Chain A
């Protein structure tokens, strides 16, 4: 019993160590490749493959987040007679928290799953060994372009989600709940600062990096057979999801610290 616990924790410590080393290799190789022209076509190909087709699902995610928030918040604010402030509440939540997090979860499913399955299949069919056998670093050739593409793409896709979230919120508030349109925009404009948008976008960079690194790692270490690839995809999604939530919390704590040192906290309503 105790022995089993011990050996399990040794195994998981070993896994953490291997993942740490992988992250380190990816960071070193990425920062080197950033300035090498030969990686740009590879990054571009990845952006094309994973980014473009993610736009619709990301926009749908954003729109529903905005619309749901409007429905939810309306009653509470209306109870206090503050329904005109709805714009500020919706848009701060969308831009800073729910937009980035839900968009990233969507991407973890869409991009992360595809990355793990692709690299996992390459691993099982010895294509990754083939890259190494020809004297090329598979991290540099396969992982770095995907990670760089995700670092660039996720913030941009989050902005798309934000825009649609704002529009969705506007649609429900103004068209359905009949809040005055100019009041909605005025309170939104005074409620949402550049700071909030920046925090959301910075989160996107972290989320993108986490999704790509975890998914590539799971693909690289996937076990043989169709079952192995499937399991790797599941693990990649679960780990990405948890790290998105954890990173979101961490960025919020740091951002709040920074904000409080430079500006005074302002009430939403």
Chain B
């Protein structure tokens, strides 16, 4: 408990270099508290990774950074400006400075790859010179290694390619902050590593601030400047990769080593041993 408080105070006090700040952020769905008074500063130019098991509220947390979800309590600041209470129209201007890579990519099925990547550009600028836009799209696609795929439709791309196109779309407006929601989930180890390298490359070359939400520890160790672990709506660990590796909290150790907790094992044991009679015989028919 003392550990927990100390860490929260630490993260509050980093203060000045922060581009996004959460203050006592709480989110409830009905009576169910997903995020419980979370305070967190995202340092500019750094890569912050949020880890935690599925369903612990990582997506909910990352969506609050650009107020895709409104908090039930607490505040969200972007560059010192409070944004959680802005009307949608003003939020839209703030959101243009973010790039968001959704878990499944969230490409528009009805638009081709070019259509998807040009979408944010067409929405916000009067386009007079299409040649320039085409060059821009080609350069963004080249960054994710997919130049030449302009006229494909999302349905004809593999999962990894879809995520990369979605990333090209997310960086189309040259954002200052890029948010990744489980960028490596559902990809094989090689394609996961391509995404990791891309995240590092974008951070190095564009100097952007990066926030990644994941439960993939390989990825987290590789890209993170700072790792934060969520548990029951609270931050239970916060520090660099070594700090997390050696963290004394048993829940953190279980998670990073991929071990089941004693209480879960107890439930499995209590259900008794499986016997042949619990399975249907192979030639079973109604």
Interface residues of A (CB under 8 A from B): 122, 125-127, 129-130, 132-137, 141
B106 touches A135 (CB 8 A): no
CB of B103 within 8 A of CB of A132, answer: no
Cβ A134 vs Cβ B102 within 8 A? no
The answer to whether B95 touches A132, judged by C-beta atoms less than 8 angstroms apart, is: yes
On whether the beta carbons of A133 and B98 are closer than 8 Å, the reply is yes
| A126 with B103, Cβ < 8 A, contacts A132-B95, A134-B173, A137-B88 known | yes
Q: Which of B6-14, B117-125, B188-196, B245-253 contacts A (4 or more CB under 8 A)?
A: B117-125
Check B120 against A129 for contact (C-beta < 8 Å).
Answer: no
B173 near A125 with CB under 8 A, answer no
B63 within 8 A of A: yes
A124, closest chain B residue (CB): B104
Q: 0/1 per residue, B30-65, Cβ < 8 Å to A?
A: 000000000000000000000000000000000100
B92 at the interface (CB under 8 A from A): yes
- The answer to whether B108 has its CB under 8 Å from any CB of chain A is yes
Q: How many angstroms between the C-alpha atoms of A125 and B94 in the bound complex?
A: 23
Identify B102's interface contact among A129, A136, A141, CB under 8 A: A129
Question: B206 within 8 Å of A by Cβ?
Answer: no
The distance from the CB of A43 to the nearest CB of chain B, in whole angstroms, is 15
Number of interchain pairs (Cβ within 8 Å): 56
Q: How far is the CA of A216 from the CA of B66 in the complex (A)?
A: 24
Q: Tell me whether B68 is interfacial, beta carbon within 8 Å.
A: yes
When chains A and B are docked, how far (Å) is the Cα of A141 from the Cα of B88? 14
Known contacts A126-B106, A127-B106; is-contact A133 B66 (Cβ 8 Å): yes
The CA-CA distance from A126 to B106 in the complex, in Å, is 6
Q: Cβ of B120 and Cβ of A134 under 8 Å apart?
A: yes
- Residue with the greatest number of chain A CB neighbours at <10 A, chosen from B89, B98, B102, B124: B102
**Residue B93 is within 8 A (CB to CB) of chain A in the complex:** yes
Known contacts A135-B93, A137-B92; is-contact A130 B123 (Cβ 8 Å): no
Contact, CB under 8 Å: A134 / B95: yes
Q: Please report the C-alpha to C-alpha distance between residue A229 and residue B186 in the assembled complex, in whole angstroms.
A: 24
B123 interface neighbour in A127, A129, A134, Cβ under 8 Å: A134
Q: How far is the CA of A179 from the CA of B245 in the complex (A)?
A: 93
**A178 to chain B: closest CB distance in Å?**
53
Give bound CA distance, A130 to B120, whole Å.
Answer: 10
**Given A134-B173, A135-B124, A137-B88, A129 and B96 contact (CB-CB distance below 8 Å):** no
Question: Is B120 a contact partner of A135 (Cβ separation < 8 A)?
Answer: yes
The answer to whether A129 touches B68 (Cβ under 8 A) is yes
Contact check, B123 vs A133: say whether CB atoms are below 8 A apart: no
CB neighbours of B66 from chain A (8 A): 133
- Closest Cβ of chain B to A15, distance in Å, is 15
Residues of A within 8 A of B91 (CB): 135
Whole-angstrom distance between the Cβ of B164 and the nearest chain A Cβ:
15
Chain A positions within 8 Å of B103 at CB level:
126
**For B98, what are the chain A residues with a Cβ–Cβ distance below 8 Å?**
133
Task: List chain B residues, Cβ under 8 A from A137.
Answer: 88-89, 92
B100 at the interface (CB under 8 A from A): yes
B101 to chain A, nearest CB (A): 9
Distance of A263 from chain B, by nearest CB (Å): 47
A134 CB contacts on chain B under 8 angstroms: 95-96, 100, 119-120, 123, 169, 173
Min CB gap A42→B, angstroms: 11
B244 CB to nearest chain A CB (Å): 28
A135 touches B104 (CB 8 A): no
CB of A129 within 8 A of CB of B106, answer: yes
- A225 and B108 CA atoms in complex are apart in Å by 18
Which residues of chain A have C-beta atoms less than 8 A from B96's C-beta?
Answer: 134-135
A129 to B95, alpha carbons, bound, how many Å? 12
CB pairs A–B below 8 angstroms (18 shown): A122-B108, A125-B106, A126-B102, A126-B104, A126-B106, A127-B107, A129-B100, A129-B106, A130-B100, A130-B108, A132-B68, A133-B95, A134-B119, A134-B123, A135-B95, A135-B96, A136-B92, A136-B124
